[in-house]
Structure 1
């Protein structure tokens, strides 16, 4: 099941590793898409807006968990690339303990703090009751969500991106069936949509555990692996919490933007929610390539294959830029039709506002493609400073837009938020990659000199 990414054509390996990630991310987004379509069609636009109003809080807490899982898997990938399986297992056990603490914290914060956080975001009064129900059910199942994200990150760290895809496909089909049954059949409302997602994530986590137990003996942990190694704990915590913090910074910026959107009323919230769903689906290929680069770079850094890292990043930047132009063109041509799938007929204002958002964002996908590749490549090298700075700048961009521009220019401010954040975040990443590139060239030259 595990796959070594330190030999063979870099771009071929990256593409083959990315394809299952791409399909997996599509199915993961299918959770949100199924919720949105069913809620919007069967319950109504106000219920759709309530789910949308909870989105920034979901991103804030679950985004931290997802970033943390990706960071915790970096030492695992590096030790696997170096062939140090004992240290790899200790890193896996350390990451599992950290993930458990993260899951418990998210559950408590999300379930008990949902009403207060919604009020702080300025959520319209008519949306608060349904949004609270959705969040409490969703965060009540945070253990399943965190477990799946961590286990799938560890499995991918060993080069297997295919099997988590299969599990996501199974869980996505289950999610669609459950959300239809809970809302359409049992009339459970928005809480049914959240419960369907939680149960689907639980199935995914259990399938990951079964895979590890039956097919991946290198991940079988013993009691000795759970003995706390202070050095490993510091390294795993540094990587995990730094990436989690980066995601939280981005999510905090999104929450500040959400505050501005909420002040524009339910129609604007529904338009933003729908446009975000379409936008997230469109950028999945770019995000998937980025995730693949973290594993590719980490494994090759462990094996000290410096030239392969340089070649892989260069080739991937070219591929990702070309793909961004294709995706942007498709969104420009078909974005309106995709929005109408979510909201149905009779919502011309929602469709018009969402279309405006999609046209502007899709025109700058090329910037986002470079951001994804450079950020994840730098993280794969174990560096955390530049990605953190990029996250802070994203927070500044989204915060200024959410708290200032939206108040003066309305929904157009919402439209400009993401492009402003991408451009500002890219600056420290490009500067950092330039420095890392020089260092990698020096190391490669030194390795080529005969002893």
Structure 2
């Protein structure tokens, strides 16, 4: 009976151990690209609504608010990445018993960590924002927005954990459905709360947390109905010690990696905040445009992680080597093409978000500094996810450590101190180039050498 169910539902997921590599990677990546585009469309609409019905100060408040939430999410997201890698390995090796134990443990772990983190986040929000040098004219709005968003942390973490499980199974298409439901709900509620009721950033935050919980509930129902053989549950049913050990072995280095990245973002945002509200708003608008131009980056990176995990689990090292060569190349070309388009049409796009002349000027400056180097970040991210997929998670941690603390933050600080603070995002572009060169050295590492010898 169990085998019949598995066969019945296997058609909704991709077996990346057989068939043309790029065809499978693209099929896996396309729904994620569509999801990312949809997510970017939502953030664009969110910024448009805030910008047109509230103003530049509200945009600045929301723009500086993502980093404090990331502080509390970063380690958990690494744990979720570890779960996804283990699920992909167990899927590749056909080890259903270990798969069920991993999934059961992931559900319990979500509850154990999400609720305390939400409470802690609400309490520490002012401390983090003060550290980030948030201007006085943005302070109250930023504190209010973040505290409301933290109420939705359980929904956010639950959905991201479930999405990781689905990606590990080879199912990247289902998350698109969840995001469609979530994004439409979010946009409708944004219009209702912000444009209709005049609730400013509080309305945007409430719309966001409702959408988060809707995404989580939808993903739970889908997994239970579509993959009954993994015995997924909405409520926690205990923790398997061996599974937790394996999850933490992979997830903690990824979480540490994420925390380094997040702290680096906070320090960079601190330098941005020192330039004033107009520059903060411009950098926030530029971030939306950068997000659209980078939709292929996370999509191909997640595809690479699942591809590597499944083939590593299946011990098909020849196929793994071939994928390690061609996937970074294709993803870089796509990112470069999107970047050219966004660079050309940046003036028109920026004008949709805000009518503030100084914010427009600074947004264009940030776009022109960063977009030409995004393809470097794509190569970097794809290779590091290849390393993560085969369990070499420490390599990506070391690269990110060097990229952020030895290159990005020092170069941004030097630019802001000795040149012009409005060019501070140049530190990001410099770190992209360095990170790509460091990631390419993975192909000369002992981990890759063992794959090549096998």
Band of TM-score, shorter chain: over 0.9
* TM-score under structure 1 length normalisation: 0.93
Aligned partners of 1:90 and 1:226 also within 8 Å = no
| 1:329 counterpart (326, 334, 340) | 340
User: Is residue 261 of structure 1 aligned with residue 272 of structure 2?
Assistant: yes
User: Is residue 33 of structure 1 aligned with residue 44 of structure 2?
Assistant: yes
User: 1:276-355 maps to which residues of 2 (within 5 A)?
Assistant: 276-343=287-354, 345=355, 347-355=356-364
| 1:359 counterpart (356, 365, 368) | 368
Q: In 2, Cα distance between the equivalents of 1:71 and 1:31?
A: 28
Aligned partners of 2:56 and 2:281 also within 8 Å = yes
Match of 2:424, SS state, is: helix
- 1:8: Cα distance to partner? 0.7
Aligned partners of 1:268 and 1:411 also within 8 Å = no
> 1:209/1:312 Cα in 2 relative to 1: closer, same or farther (>3 Å)?
same
Aligned partners of 2:412 and 2:428 also within 8 Å = no
Partner of 2:377: 368
- 1:412: Cα distance to partner? 4.2
Partner of 2:442: 432
User: Is residue 245 of structure 1 aligned with residue 256 of structure 2?
Assistant: yes
Partner of 2:135: 124
Q: In 1, Cα distance between the equivalents of 2:177 and 2:74?
A: 23
Which deviates more from structure 2 when the two are superposed, residues 183-192 or residues 127-136?
A: 183-192
User: 1:94-105 maps to which residues of 2 (within 5 A)?
Assistant: 94-105=105-116
- 1:379: Cα distance to partner? 0.4
User: Is residue 393 of structure 1 aligned with residue 402 of structure 2?
Assistant: yes
- Residues 175-225 of structure 1: CA deviation (Å, up to 9, x unaligned): 1001111111122210111111111111111111111121111221489x9
| 2:104 counterpart (86, 89, 93) | 93
- Residues 368-388 of structure 1: CA deviation (Å, up to 9, x unaligned): 121121011100001111111
Q: In 1, Cα distance between the equivalents of 2:172 and 2:56?
A: 37
User: 1:139-178 maps to which residues of 2 (within 5 A)?
Assistant: 139-178=150-189
Partner of 2:432: 422
Aligned partners of 1:179 and 1:196 also within 8 Å = yes
> 1:140/1:222 Cα in 2 relative to 1: closer, same or farther (>3 Å)?
closer
> 1:401/1:241 Cα in 2 relative to 1: closer, same or farther (>3 Å)?
same
Root mean square deviation of aligned Cα: 1.9
Aligned partners of 1:82 and 1:303 also within 8 Å = yes
Q: In 2, Cα distance between the equivalents of 1:194 and 1:222?
A: 28
Aligned partners of 2:412 and 2:425 also within 8 Å = no
- Residues 256-286 of structure 1: CA deviation (Å, up to 9, x unaligned): 0111111111111111111111101210112
Q: In 1, Cα distance between the equivalents of 2:279 and 2:378?
A: 27
Partner of 1:448: none
> 1:96/1:227 Cα in 2 relative to 1: closer, same or farther (>3 Å)?
closer
> 1:277/1:60 Cα in 2 relative to 1: closer, same or farther (>3 Å)?
farther
Which deviates more from structure 2 when the two are superposed, residues 418-427 or residues 250-259?
A: 418-427
> 1:160/1:103 Cα in 2 relative to 1: closer, same or farther (>3 Å)?
same
Aligned partners of 1:268 and 1:353 also within 8 Å = yes
Match of 2:71, SS state, is: helix
Unmatched segments (≥5 aa) in structure 2: 1-11
Partner of 2:210: 199
> 1:240/1:28 Cα in 2 relative to 1: closer, same or farther (>3 Å)?
farther
Aligned partners of 1:389 and 1:428 also within 8 Å = no
Match of 1:363, SS state, is: helix
- 1:41: Cα distance to partner? 0.9
Q: In 1, Cα distance between the equivalents of 2:403 and 2:166?
A: 30
Match of 2:134, SS state, is: coil
Partner of 1:77: 88
Aligned partners of 2:224 and 2:233 also within 8 Å = no
Q: In 2, Cα distance between the equivalents of 1:375 and 1:338?
A: 32
Unmatched segments (≥5 aa) in structure 1: 444-451
| 1:406 counterpart (404, 416, 433) | 416
Q: In 1, Cα distance between the equivalents of 2:336 and 2:412?
A: 28
Q: In 2, Cα distance between the equivalents of 1:153 and 1:439?
A: 27
* TM-score under structure 2 length normalisation: 0.92
Aligned partners of 1:390 and 1:424 also within 8 Å = no
Q: In 2, Cα distance between the equivalents of 1:409 and 1:103?
A: 42
- 1:292: Cα distance to partner? 0.8
> 1:63/1:28 Cα in 2 relative to 1: closer, same or farther (>3 Å)?
farther
User: 1:45-64 maps to which residues of 2 (within 5 A)?
Assistant: 45-64=56-75
- 1:354: Cα distance to partner? 1.3
